[in-house]
Chains A and B, each alone.
Chain A
């Protein structure tokens, strides 16, 4: 499947009807999701035949993209039952099977250590709940055998990379992108805001 085909297939994915600010729920666009997953596959061979978890899956777009590109098994985890309902319907529309789990990833992640090959995520940025972005990453690094892929504000790059390396993990900025966040919450002043975001691959030592 080509990148443009993947993006086209993801266009039908529906997002949060009523996003909740306390969980920093922002949708991931079909454009960004397609590029992330396509890159994970073509540059790193981390999709095809891999067992993949989507942390903070929301409507499930990242996990669904993984399944469309040939992941062996995909599981989506989110704390919000309404988001999981949306994810179930999206999986139906896209005609993919993904397992859905309701859990608190930062609090107590219910996946066992080294149970999946790869974790992918667009985590909360940590504006509301400080440290939750790295909380998600470290939860992923416990669970993954090979790598964790994540999005982080470019302004936090030094902190994110240093934090991972301090614990013995590799961290590579795979790409930079501009993330367009439309005015979703009442306190948002401008109509939409572009923020610079890094697509980062965290690697586990001795796994490549």
Chain B
């Protein structure tokens, strides 16, 4: 058995932060009787794609990766406005727009920046919720914009290991 000894805490302990709206959303999605089907686990969603850049050595402009999707599923997920608002400053909107266009969808509802979104603009928040969280890329490729190297997505998991060419 492992023991966690002597935690030397730097900052003074503070009261635990309230549950983020995200966990509220998940918990109620699970416990409520609802028609919303939830399968958890992993699929590549655009929120995750927003973090990825080309792993190819020497590439200067490797972000965002282009998406060539062969299989995309729409999965309804419970909307929580406060959660989307909390995510806004962390999103690269240019990359999101390109990703949505790669999937053949209309990206006109996507704002330019976090600052341009009013907290009560529910329509924009719902649009962002849909694009970031409800589109699951199951099969396809991610493509480095500079080198053209392809990285396959299978079963919702992108493989970004750079294969050595022989």
Interface string of B2-18 (1 = CB under 8 A from A): 11111111110110111
B42, B83, B161: the one within 8 Å of A98 (CB) = B42
* Complex Cα–Cα for A31 and B3 (A): 8
Is residue A172 contacting chain B, with contact meaning CB distance below 8 A?
Answer: yes
Contact assessment for A95 and B63 in the assembled complex, using a CB-CB cutoff below 8 Å: no
Interface size class of B (residues with CB under 8 A): 35 or more
Q: Which residues of B contact A42 (CB under 8 A)?
A: 13-14, 16
Nearest first, the 8 A-B pairs at minimum CB distance are A99-B48, A108-B55, A112-B53, A110-B160, A70-B20, A175-B7, A110-B55, A103-B160
Query: Are B9's CB and A174's CB within 8 A?
Result: yes
12 contacts across the A-B interface (CB closer than 8 A): A41-B17, A42-B13, A44-B10, A48-B17, A70-B17, A72-B22, A87-B42, A103-B160, A110-B52, A116-B51, A174-B7, A180-B2
Kindly list chain B residues whose C-beta atoms are within 8 Å of the C-beta of A72: 20, 22, 83, 86-87, 90
Q: Interface residues, chain A, CB within 8 Å of chain B?
A: 1, 29, 31-32, 35, 39, 41-45, 47-49, 51, 53, 67-73, 75, 79, 81, 84, 87-89, 91-92, 94-104, 107-113, 115-117, 172-180, 194, 201
Asked if B36 CB lies within 8 Å of chain A CBs, one says: no
The residue from A70, A71, A177 contacting B5, defined by CB atoms under 8 A apart: A177
Task: Report how far A176 CA is from B160 CA in the complex, Å.
Answer: 34
- Inside 8 A of A1's CB, which chain B residues have their CB? 19
Q: Which of B109-117, B122-130, B151-159 lies at the interface?
A: B151-159
Residue of B10, B18, B26, B57 near A108 (CB, 8 A) is B57
Q: Which of B10, B17, B83 touches A172 (beta carbons < 8 Å)?
A: B10
Q: DSSP class of A's interface residues: helix, strand, loop or mixed? A: mixed
**Which residues of chain B come closer than 8 Å to A100, judged between CB atoms?**
42, 156-157
B23 cross-chain contacts in A, Cβ below 8 A? 67-70
Q: Are A70 and B157 touching (Cβ within 8 A)?
A: no
Least CB distance, A164 to chain B, in whole angstroms:
16
Are the CB atoms of B40 and A95 closer together than 8 Å?
A: yes
Evaluate contact between B16 and A41: CB separation under 8 angstroms. Answer: yes
Establish whether residues B20 and A48, one from each chain, have CB atoms under 8 Å apart when the complex forms. yes
Check A179 against B2 for contact (C-beta < 8 Å). yes
Bound Cα distance from A66 to B156, whole angstroms? 21
Is B44 in contact with chain A by the CB < 8 A criterion? yes
Closest residue of A by beta carbon distance from B4: A35
Closest to A109 in B: B55
- Decide: A73 and B6 in contact? CB cutoff 8 A: no
* Selected contact of A178 from candidates B5, B13, B45, B157, CB within 8 Å: B5
For the complex with contacts A51-B90, A91-B42, 18 further pairs of A-B residues with Cβ separation under 8 Å are A1-B19, A42-B13, A42-B16, A43-B14, A70-B19, A72-B20, A75-B51, A92-B41, A97-B40, A103-B160, A108-B160, A108-B162, A110-B160, A115-B50, A175-B7, A175-B8, A177-B5, A201-B10
Check: B56 CB closer than 8 A to any chain A CB. Answer: yes
Residues 24-70 (chain B) with a chain A CB within 8 angstroms: 26, 30, 38-42, 44-45, 47-48, 50-57, 63
